[in-house]
Amino acid sequence: MSITVNTKDEIIMRLVHYFVTEENYQPIIINGVKNEIWLENLEAQYRIIRINSNYIHNKDQLIFDNYKVKSIAKQVKKKTLSFKVNILNILLDLNEEINIQNDKNIDTFKIKTLKDVRNDNGISKLFPKLKTFTLSKENNVELIVNITNDINKKTEKNNITYDNIFKPKKIIVTKILIIINVIMFIFSTMYPNVFNLFFLNSDLVKMGEYWRLFTAAFLHANVFHLLVNMYSLHIIGTQVETFLGKRKFLIVYFGSAIVASLMSAVITQGNSVGASGALFGLLGCLLYFGYHYRIYFGSVLTSQIVPVILINLLIGFTIPMIDNAAHIGGLIGGLFITMAIGIGKKDKTTMINGIIVSFIYIAFLTYLLFLN
């Protein structure tokens, strides 16, 4: 069987193959465009790579083409909550007489042959691996087969990773936490000394009763307080436990509970009980998780997660007796702790940064409570 592959098509196949398999880009669908390939990697220097095989024969067409790229960039920024999106714009069929002028956040390169790909002044300057990256072939059929197989393997590997994160899991830890909270409420109601021993009080914590920073998260003032928090824990905890797994879920929950108590002891400086600080920590976890996987969450981050957080904070500011300091402390703590423990494919640099900011955050609150 014989298949003819022209130079332009071969360049496209080789570039897509390289960016997907070596640079972890993923194809994205842009409605209303033809003869263009758009790739996305939110962690890369160029979040968007666009390969355009349409013929551009004059300067006005090039200006319009740049305008189109900018318009799509705005959509990507809105979708991914990004303030800045750098785009690598690759043109495969540009009139030789047209001079390229890069626009803000858009670097444009003209490629006519495979040699242009490896040119020191071309895109290989940005992606050095392109100089040595090769794909052997004996004929055009073998080229297509090799490229297709490699991309499929890479996509399959990514799909396995995402399936492990997003697939439904058996929820155990959330249910156990709910049971513990209910048992603690019953015991604290039957035996008031239990409540007195475990509620949060900044003065008592300063006197050495440090366990209150943790145990206060398992006490509740009344049945309504308990029911609201346990319902929230069931909804939010199920999601976080599914995404993070049991061990990381517990780290975020307990860590957020302690940090929330620290913030409450520093700012509120009164008696406080309830799981809401830890719950806001789980919301902070979802906020970080949703931002990290925003390309898969779509509009969920802006339409659901963020509004829920803002509404609950607003309620806390408007209704008396709600410890909003604990809510804010838990929210920030949950976000930082999630950043520190990592999610999905671990980024060691991000995790180290998360550990550092978590340590500074907790150390600062501890200093304010005990030493200031």
Question: In terms of domains, do 68 and 120 share one?
Answer: yes
Question: In terms of domains, do 173 and 116 share one?
Answer: no
Asked whether residue 71 is domain-assigned, the answer is yes
Q: Which of 165, 186, 213 is the last residue of a domain?
A: 165
Of the residues 188, 264, 327, 358, which is catalytic? 327
Q: Please state, in angstroms and rounded to a whole number, the distance separating the CA atoms of residues 209 and 200.
A: 9
Range of the domain at 64: 7-165
Token duo for residue 95? 């009139």
- pLDDT value, residue 253: 97
Contact (CB, 8 A) for 259 and 329: yes
pLDDT bin (cut points 50, 70, 90) of residue 361 is very high
Encode pLDDT of 16-34 as tens digits: 888 888 888 888 776 667 7
Q: Which of 165, 191, 225 is the last residue of a domain?
A: 165
Question: In terms of domains, do 275 and 209 share one?
Answer: yes
Question: In terms of domains, do 108 and 256 share one?
Answer: no
Asked whether residue 2 is domain-assigned, the answer is no
- pLDDT value, residue 139: 46
- pLDDT value, residue 85: 83
- pLDDT value, residue 161: 63
Question: In terms of domains, do 53 and 134 share one?
Answer: yes
Asked whether residue 1 is domain-assigned, the answer is no
Question: In terms of domains, do 84 and 147 share one?
Answer: yes
One-character DSSP codes across 178-238: HHHHHHHHHHHHH-HHHHHHHSB-HHHHHTT-TTHHHHGGG--SSHHHHHHHHHHHHHHHH
Asked whether residue 261 is domain-assigned, the answer is yes
Contact (CB, 8 A) for 277 and 327: yes
Q: Please state, in angstroms and rounded to a whole number, the distance separating the CA atoms of residues 90 and 56.
A: 12
Encode pLDDT of 180-222 as tens digits: 999 999 999 999 999 999 999 999 999 999 999 999 999 999 9
Token duo for residue 297? 């969450």
DSSP reduced 3-state for 136: coil
β-pairing verdict for 106-110 and 87-91: parallel
Question: In terms of domains, do 141 and 257 share one?
Answer: no
- Is 327 a residue of the active site? yes
Overall number of domains in the chain: 2
β-pairing verdict for 36-40 and 48-52: antiparallel
Nearest residue to 335 (alpha-carbon basis) of 370, 371, 290: 290
Average pLDDT of the segment spanning 159-187: 86
Question: In terms of domains, do 120 and 186 share one?
Answer: no
Encode pLDDT of 229-283 as tens digits: 999 999 999 999 998 999 999 999 999 999 999 999 999 888 999 999 999 999 9
Of the residues 202, 256, 276, 358, which is catalytic? 276
Q: Look over the chain and give the mean of its residue pLDDT values, rounded to a whole number.
A: 84
At 75, the amino acid letter reads: Q
Q: Please state, in angstroms and rounded to a whole number, the distance separating the CA atoms of residues 289 and 252.
A: 12
Residue 127 is classified by DSSP as -
- Is 234 a residue of the active site? no
- pLDDT value, residue 331: 96
Question: In terms of domains, do 329 and 262 share one?
Answer: yes
Q: Assign residue 190 the CATH number of its domain.
A: 1.20.1540.10
Q: Which of 111, 141, 165 is the last residue of a domain?
A: 165
Share of the chain above pLDDT 70, in %: 84
- pLDDT value, residue 371: 84
- pLDDT value, residue 22: 83
**Unique residue bearing structure tokens 């603690």:** 184
Question: In terms of domains, do 149 and 222 share one?
Answer: no
Asked whether residue 282 is domain-assigned, the answer is yes
Question: In terms of domains, do 242 and 317 share one?
Answer: yes
Encode pLDDT of 287-307 as tens digits: 898 887 776 666 677 777 888
Token duo for residue 223? 């049945």
Encode pLDDT of 139-161 as tens digits: 444 555 555 665 556 655 665 66
Average pLDDT of the segment spanning 166-171: 81
Average pLDDT of the segment spanning 90-99: 85
Asked whether residue 295 is domain-assigned, the answer is yes
Question: In terms of domains, do 114 and 138 share one?
Answer: yes
- pLDDT value, residue 2: 45
Asked whether residue 72 is domain-assigned, the answer is yes
At 56, the amino acid letter reads: I
